[in-house]
A and B are shown apart, each in its own frame.
Chain A
């Protein structure tokens, strides 16, 4: 059921742009110049880090938000009806006070389907998705996997042409998620679902390669499509197949070889810092320094071994490159000399090395330390730094950046922070 370029189009997305925050003001640009065409019979994955706007795009297609610019057109089918969509949520989004049956009937209710037909169609969807026997159960009585089956049945019962899925398996444990993926693919290939195309948002590279015919890789700040990767593998796909592994590795390389975010922010101290704990940094250095990697670790293997998703792994790896403790090349994390020394050092030496790296490569940390040194031990209000950051980024980003630099600075003991008075000081620093 692979789509060719000649298959009928279902939806055309052209030049979509969207900002968060009040329009007119400089809200953060979450989507820029997004073009995308979905065709009959294809499964397309939107792959990217959290905050790259892929969920926003999905919601725009679902009609939940209206993008600031660009167009989203549904191509009428041969009989002239516009294709409909339904959505599956990461959080399942079930109504806790409705039974499984009532949850599934919800969408039909809105379409004013007569009760008898509603019941028949809902029972059919429940049967299809493997939920029979649970019709009268309430969501809180179900396991996570069963709940997401309800979410799927509720989406399918309205006969959508296009099924939108927002990280549908990421709230499930590994085994359950795999079962659901396989079941969904089986239904898809057996043609037992009414849907004509699926659009899947994910940050799990293997999931994208396993399920999709085509993967659109999203880049962040602003969210845009950085690459389109066709998946030519035949179904059923085998995760251990060398061709599968090669493709996964290639996507890792593609996603890390982009111009590093640091280059996109030439603003020095106003560079946003991701929320990465010093423990994760140390953990990744230790993992990459140990055998069998000895300082050269393919990200795909690291992720697989430690059950990390790209949202856990990429920010940590990129922070290491920012601190010049590692390089990312061809999907591999390559530790620098400093990182090897760090891995071998004891706690105090590690703190000292981390502190030196902070002062040298994180302008905001250097800036705070510099101000404190200038004031000769007088504490400095955190507000001033917050204000400086907010000149360049949204308050939420500023708060997160300040939280991150505080945590790093405390660990490195280059400055201290007092929550009660909201000030930085040198007091506890060495």
Chain B
């Protein structure tokens, strides 16, 4: 029996081991509460205290730093969830909001995340003058921007694809909008949302370093956290401390994976929209522990009440659900004009802001840098594909390996690639390598896993009968790849490569300008340009750089990935 729905006062007492489970869960929950309180204390302190108690490289401080970083990430996650529900629900419900929100999300996804930091630090610090809270919020916002957009997209997609018959059931019973959300839309969207949340969390790590060690123009703040610790270690060139930071990150990732995400995935499994029972179900010891307790059910009881709240007005059947469409279309046209005017006005103000400070030579420069970075992205995605496609297919065709390697690959993907940067800097300096070439691999370090993941998924989805036909017909070597392997994984590969290329653009800001102690290595490219402008607090150049990078990413998506995706959907989908 499942706790969430079917709890009744006597139900828990009948089972064995409930008392032990109760105690275990109580201790766990109390510990979490204490940790949250401890971590939050620091946020309220004045900014000046950071100067008295600066971030140090003493490993004894690391658990505390890890706590602060974790809290920041979960705060950002909570904000992302709220944003997701609000934005996606609005877009799915209102044509007018949809016209605005969806393209905005699409573009925000392509805007380099670190670009936000420049603008928001000033804003948030102004909100809480002299307090750490302002900088904290700026850091949380930076992490938020790396998580929110794709979660919102996923949720919106789910809302759009809620099965028609279930919609009709809800309508015919006159479910209120709130109840429809709780009973139908939220459960239906949960599996995809959980998956995207996990991916977002992994993505967020990459930017924790940049968002905790804030340096914009004159402002230099090190917030207590693993990111700052790592940044400091890199600053002074202390290998042992880098090692400690890596260990702490591994611990945190492992902990929240076991304590939060595994249980959530196991719980969310019931919401998968399928009519047949799956063979293997995700399991989690924490989830099992919680399921066995009365305590948990007691805690959830108020939540369930919320779901069961009586509706304010119950609709009788037969009430129509659509407003008069003809009038609506007229007002939509007006809305479109309003948006167009706003876009033109916005474009004009940006253009005039930039033209007052920068000349055409700047634009030409930035475009040139953009082409350089683009060449890097293309070359690296190609190289990563050459390596990971064969590996992914090999693993995908062997279910036992896929099962064993999946958690390892997930861990690697969650791991921030920044920690490897110092080694590359040292290597470049030692052997006098060309940074324009040898810094490039850093851009795909964190994103190549998307290609591997998707190829593994694609290869394991190749139907057994096709593999048998291939074997019976003696299809081997190159011919096997051309006739079976590549076409079968292609749709999956495109999805992975699209994500990887977007991520690589983003990473270029961090990866094209890297330092270790006093040594700084830079490659010519758009990422380095933005990084330099940010360090100098040159808002105009940051704006220009980010705008150009967004345009490159969007053009890349529209001209290359979308057509490839359409082709794959049309021709190669194994239905």
Which residues of A are at the interface with B, using a C-beta cutoff of 8 A? Answer: 22-24, 59, 62-64, 66, 72, 74, 82, 84-87, 89-93, 95-99, 102, 106-107, 109-112, 115, 136, 138-141, 154, 158
CB distance B169 to A110 under 8 Å? no
28 A–B contacts from the bound complex (CB under 8 Å): A22-B329, A62-B168, A62-B172, A62-B317, A63-B318, A64-B321, A85-B318, A87-B168, A87-B169, A87-B172, A90-B165, A93-B168, A95-B166, A95-B169, A96-B270, A96-B271, A96-B275, A98-B183, A102-B5, A106-B173, A107-B173, A109-B179, A109-B183, A110-B311, A110-B314, A111-B173, A111-B314, A115-B308
Which residues of B are at the interface with A, using a C-beta cutoff of 8 A? Answer: 1, 5-6, 163, 165-166, 168-169, 171-176, 179, 183-184, 187, 270-277, 308, 310-311, 314-322, 325-326, 329
Q: Which of A23, A106, A115 has the most CB of B within 10 A?
A: A106
Which of A22, A102, A140 makes the CB contact (< 8 A) with B325? A22
User: Can you name the residue of chain B whose Cβ is closest to the Cβ of A107?
Assistant: B173
CB distance B270 to A63 under 8 Å? no
Residues of A within 8 A of B168 (CB): 59, 62, 64, 87, 89, 93
CB distance B165 to A84 under 8 Å? no
Residues of B within 8 A of A24 (CB): 326
Distance, CA A367 to CA B336, complexed state (A): 42
CB distance B317 to A85 under 8 Å? yes
Which of B272, B311, B329 makes the CB contact (< 8 A) with A112? B311
Query: Given A102-B5, A138-B270, does the pair A93, B322 have CB atoms closer than 8 Å?
Result: no
CB distance from B266 to the nearest CB of A (A): 14
Residues of B within 8 A of A154 (CB): 169
10 pairs of A and B residues whose beta carbons are closest in the complex: A63-B318, A93-B165, A112-B310, A66-B320, A107-B173, A110-B173, A97-B187, A63-B317, A97-B271, A110-B175
CB distance from A94 to the nearest CB of B (A): 8
Distance, CA A24 to CA B327, complexed state (A): 11
CB distance A140 to B317 under 8 Å? no
User: Can you name the residue of chain B whose Cβ is closest to the Cβ of A67?
Assistant: B320
CB distance A91 to B165 under 8 Å? yes
Which of A72, A82, A86 makes the CB contact (< 8 A) with B172? A86
CB distance B314 to A84 under 8 Å? no
CB distance from A310 to the nearest CB of B (A): 23
Report whether over half of chain B's contact residues are helix, strand or loop; otherwise say mixed: loop
Residues of B within 8 A of A82 (CB): 316
Query: Given A85-B317, A106-B183, does the pair A140, B276 have CB atoms closer than 8 Å?
Result: yes
Query: Given A87-B168, A141-B277, does the pair A110, B317 have CB atoms closer than 8 Å?
Result: no
User: Can you name the residue of chain A whose Cβ is closest to the Cβ of B311?
Assistant: A112
CB distance from A414 to the nearest CB of B (A): 26
CB distance from A270 to the nearest CB of B (A): 27
CB distance B171 to A64 under 8 Å? yes
Given A84-B316, A90-B165, 11 more pairs with CB closer than 8 A: A85-B317, A89-B165, A95-B183, A106-B183, A110-B179, A110-B311, A111-B173, A111-B174, A112-B310, A140-B276, A140-B277
Report whether over half of chain A's contact residues are helix, strand or loop; otherwise say mixed: loop
Distance, CA A160 to CA B167, complexed state (A): 19
Distance, CA A398 to CA B315, complexed state (A): 40
CB distance from B498 to the nearest CB of A (A): 23
CB distance from B324 to the nearest CB of A (A): 9
CB distance B184 to A95 under 8 Å? yes
Distance, CA A80 to CA B211, complexed state (A): 67
CB distance B176 to A74 under 8 Å? no
Query: Given A23-B326, A110-B175, does the pair A140, B274 have CB atoms closer than 8 Å?
Result: yes
Distance, CA A102 to CA B2, complexed state (A): 12
User: Can you name the residue of chain B whose Cβ is closest to the Cβ of A142?
Assistant: B275
Query: Given A110-B175, A136-B1, does the pair A96, B272 have CB atoms closer than 8 Å?
Result: yes
CB distance A99 to B6 under 8 Å? yes
Residues of B within 8 A of A138 (CB): 270
Residues of B within 8 A of A66 (CB): 320-322
CB distance from A167 to the nearest CB of B (A): 12
Which of A22, A59, A139 makes the CB contact (< 8 A) with B275? A139
User: Can you name the residue of chain A whose Cβ is closest to the Cβ of B329?
Assistant: A22
CB distance from B350 to the nearest CB of A (A): 37
Q: Which of B163, B165, B273, B329 has the most CB of A within 10 A?
A: B165
Distance, CA A63 to CA B311, complexed state (A): 20
User: Can you name the residue of chain A whose Cβ is closest to the Cβ of B272?
Assistant: A96
Query: Given A95-B183, A97-B271, does the pair A112, B317 have CB atoms closer than 8 Å?
Result: no
CB distance B175 to A93 under 8 Å? no
CB distance B311 to A96 under 8 Å? no
Distance, CA A66 to CA B318, complexed state (A): 8
Distance, CA A99 to CA B6, complexed state (A): 9
CB distance from A348 to the nearest CB of B (A): 28
CB distance B169 to A89 under 8 Å? yes
